[in-house]
Amino acid sequence: MMRLLRFLRPHLYLALLALALSFLAVGAQIGLLGTSAYLISRAALRPSTILLLMVPIVGVQFFSIGRSSFRYLERLTSHDVTFRLLSDLRVWFYARLDARPPADLGRVHSGDLLSRAVHDIESLQDFYLRALAPPVVLVLTVVLVFLVVWPMAPSIASVLAVLLLLGSLPAVLQLRLGQRAGGELLRQRGALSVAVADGVRGVSELLACGGADAYQAKLDATQERMLRAQGRLRRQSAMSGALLGLLGNFAMVAALVLAIPLVRAGRMPGWDLAVVAFIALAGFEAAQPLSQSFQALGQCLAAGRRIFDIMDQPVSRTPLKAARQPADAGVEVRDLSVRYDPQAAPALRGIDFDLPPGKHIAVVGPSGAGKTTLIGALSGFAPDMTGSVLVGGVPIEAVQREEIWAMSAVIAQDTSLFNVSLKDNLRLGRPEASDGEVAAAAEAASLNSLIAALPEGLDTLVGEQGARLSGGERQRVAIARAILKDAPILLLDEPTEGLDAVTEEAVLHDVLHFAAGRSLLLVTHRLIGMEAMDEILVLSGGRVVERGRHAELLAAGGVYEQLFHLQSDRLCSG
């Protein structure tokens, strides 16, 4: 809770103002009901002059207007401070995420991370709107009721103060229950986000493999668990609200029972009988929000733990302070090992190679050999990495991540495209590029025929995930991005995956043409165009089992030669 309260410090004056306005609104409600009861009671007794009723008449008007005005100003101020706090919390959360090594974020599913960044932070609005103010307002209301009723009947004032404090007990029980049920709701909401994200990304595979029904059943079960958690929270809130309403009526009856003997004995005016009854009832208006307050507090504490849990996870590799800029775009890898789970075997072990400017290296091997992990290590996304990766003679940890990303361009097998224009998708490579530079990059990537066929040329929307483009066209967009970025290091992760042989050869030709003079690392399991590579690394089980040029590896008769002839046989049989 204290960590959440720290975000309140810059806006403390607004929070105190909202708290004061909330108390004034409750005080105006007590004044309105008490004054109304006094006015009706005095009028029923037919006072000798109407002037005796002028003050309570004015009081009713004042408290009526004041109650609405204070409540409106309280809502305005409390929501203003809440939006400011949520804005600060989001900025802090994203800044902390950005400061962490990208590899650490890979330990959390993107759907769950999105749920924490959106839903969990959004739920913290209740911490500032519902959880903090109501208990403070209740304590102030107890003091107010005690001071107002004490001159009329000290015994009634004491009883009402005790009953108002007891009114918080049903709500206090909600703290534990709300924390448990609220935490379960947040976990199930995160699980639902994970399931939806997996379904959206893998819809093609689910339909192709006949897994749609099983996925739908899993999604329905996850949603049902989330709905059950929501139902438990609502039932708890309804029960607590009912108990508070019952206690408020009991307080009014108790005030009447205690006041009637005092009126009979002449120790209290008769008109005060209705006054103390209505003040007792109005005082419980401050206790009514407590059922939601403590339930919201429990849920907010659970949300806060989910948010801070990510921030408190240990950093896999502590970045070194940048001592100098890389001298060039050369990459040196020495005894590199990467593992995803401390209990599992390494995904890469003892990898060594040099990639100076202008050299082209291909990394081949069967699926699961660690090829994609190597790309992740060179771009800063590999977890638990040992050994050394030098860029221009500088350890990769000592180079700013933005500098690494600026020096390298990645062409992956799954190009990320957004439902914006083709021009805007290309500009992801370099946002400040001019229209002429974008057009030149598109031409260099052989996109001219595509652009000519599109109804609005470069301004045509490509659809979600580039739905209007073929696989080869999407890969050419990725190449155009890399050309536009003009990075000296190219990292290619299966850039021709899923393409037919003709398109694959054309795309690879464009890539190699653009890569002239640049450092190129090509990760692939398809041995096409290997004759143009300066060196080939054959991975198996996370280790380099063979290395050399294409002709040398074929002559050696090892793993590479087996992979090459296996693919050749498949092509011939196809």
The secondary element (H helix, E strand) that includes residue 94 is: helix 54-99
Domain range annotation of the chain: 2-312, 331-573
* Beta carbons of 299 and 185 less than 8 angstroms apart: yes
H or E element, residue 545: strand 543-548
DSSP 531: G
The predicted pLDDT at position 320 comes to 46
How far from 24 is each of 20, 34, 112, 513, CA to CA, in Å? 6, 15, 42, 75
* The CA-based dihedral angle spanning residues 220, 222, 223, 224, taken in that order and rounded to the nearest 10 degrees: 80
Return the half-sphere exposure (C-beta side, CA atoms, 13 A cut-off) of residue 211.
12
- Note the pLDDT tens digit of each residue in 308-364: 776 666 555 545 454 556 667 788 888 888 877 667 777 888 888 888 888 898 888
Cα torsion 440, 446, 449, 450: sign: negative
Pairing between β-strand 519-523 and β-strand 535-540 as defined by DSSP bridges:
unpaired
Quick count: other Cβ atoms within 10 Å of Cβ 261? 10
3-state secondary structure of 336: strand
Contact partners, residue 566, CB within 8 Å, separation at least 6: none
CA atoms within 13 Å, Cβ hemisphere of 428: 18
Lay out the sheet containing 348-355: strands in order across: 348-355, 331-338, 385-391, 394-395
Q: What is the pLDDT of residue 106?
A: 55
Q: How far is CA 454 from CA 378, 436, 449, in A?
A: 36, 18, 9
Using one digit for the tens of pLDDT, what is the confidence trace for 177-209? 666 666 677 777 777 877 787 777 677 667 777
- Which residue(s) pair with 491 in the sheet? 410, 521
CA-CA distance, 491 to 69, in Å (whole number)? 63
| Both tokens assigned to 9 | 């410090």
Q: Is the dihedral of CA 226, 232, 237, 238 positive or negative?
A: positive
Segments in the chain below pLDDT 70: 1, 48-49, 98-113, 115, 119, 128-130, 170-183, 201, 204-205, 291-299, 310-327, 341-342, 380-384, 497-500, 503, 567-574
> The CATH number of 331-573 is which of 3.40.50.261, 3.40.50.300, 3.50.50.60, 3.40.50.620?
3.40.50.300
Q: Is 491 helix (H, G, I), strand (E, B) or coil?
A: strand
From the candidate CATH numbers 1.20.1560.10, 2.60.120.10, 3.40.50.2300, 3.40.50.150, the one assigned to the domain spanning 2-312: 1.20.1560.10
DSSP E strands, 406-498: 408-412, 489-493
Among 549, 493, 537, 490, smallest CA distance to 357 is for 490
